[in-house]
Amino acid sequence: MIRHPAFAPGSVWLAGAGPGDPALLTLAALHAIETADVILHDALVPAEILALAPAATRLVPAGKRAGGIHTPQLSINEDLIALARQDLRVLRLKGGDPFVFGRGGEECLALAAASIPFRVIPGISAGIGAASAAHMPITHRGVARSVVFATGEAGPAGGEVDFAALGRAADTLVLYMARQNIGRIAAALIAGGRSPTDPLAFLLDATTPRERVVHTTIGAAAAIAATLPPAATLVIVGPVAGIGAMLAPHRPEAEPSIRSAQG
């Protein structure tokens, strides 16, 4: 019933593995995992998903501190090209979506320059998956007509997103890799006009059995961040985080949602 394109030897597919829960793989990504000769995966792809590959598939950790080391992007690009030139079906499997903080664009440009045929399979981005699991409608009629996804990590040249402007312009903010800089980001949001009492939530290990949602405010975010256990963390800011808090008692199975004392 579902038709998949042929995964031709000598080509590379870039696929998103979604936010963690194997049930949030797309049918296209599952097909790619079942068909590839070799899978270059980052550390955000859980073992349960890699286990879906046939036993003969070669699994290669690459990028985002996979296997404890961080593979530089240029070396990943070179590996993809070299493997494709060995006439293999090469799957580049990434947590989330390849084009949302996944560096998929750099890989596409390298493959195009090397004349390697490629295809991109989108995935559920971590922010989208986490919002669903935490019952936070990142857009909501009358409350949020725009949502921005931004990285909280400072750029290589120290360049950083202008959070004051972003907080003024967009209703909902979904922040990746923002936990470490949350104090600075919260200060910028407040400087831009957001109230310190506006809702902010930390979403930890979303869509996995370890999932935890911590509700707080922009003003209290830095103090709360310091108390959180290590985990893949997304931050959602805006009134929709408050809707998530209202709906928290209705979340199925999940760990009880935690409302911070300081929030």
Residues in region 205-224 near a second copy by CB under 8 A: none
Q: In sequence order, which residues have a C-beta less than 8 Å from that of residue 205 and are 6 or more positions away?
A: 20, 211, 212, 231, 232
Residues in region 35-54 near a second copy by CB under 8 A: 48, 51-52
Report the C-alpha gap between 262 and 108 in whole angstroms: 45
Provide the CA 252 distance to its chain's centre, in angstroms.
Answer: 22
Shortest CB 139 distance to a second copy, Å = 5
How is residue 96 annotated by DSSP? Answer: B
In this structure, what token pair is assigned to residue 9?
């030897």
Residues in region 141-160 near a second copy by CB under 8 A: 141-142, 145-151, 155-156, 159-160
Of the residues 170, 225, 232, 237, which one makes contact with a second copy according to CB under 8 A: 170
Shortest CB 257 distance to a second copy, Å = 13
Question: Which helix or strand (DSSP H or E) is residue 60 part of?
Answer: strand 58-61
Q: Which of 77, 85, 89 is nearest to 34 (CA)?
A: 89
Report the C-alpha gap between 47 and 27 in whole angstroms: 18
Contact between 91 and a second copy per CB under 8 A: no
Contact between 100 and a second copy per CB under 8 A: yes
Contact between 12 and a second copy per CB under 8 A: no
119 vs 184, which CB is nearer to a second copy? 119
In this structure, what token pair is assigned to residue 156?
């290589």
60 vs 73, which CB is nearer to a second copy? 73
Shortest CB 149 distance to a second copy, Å = 5
Whether 37 is catalytic: no
Task: Name the residues annotated as catalytic.
Answer: 42, 64, 177
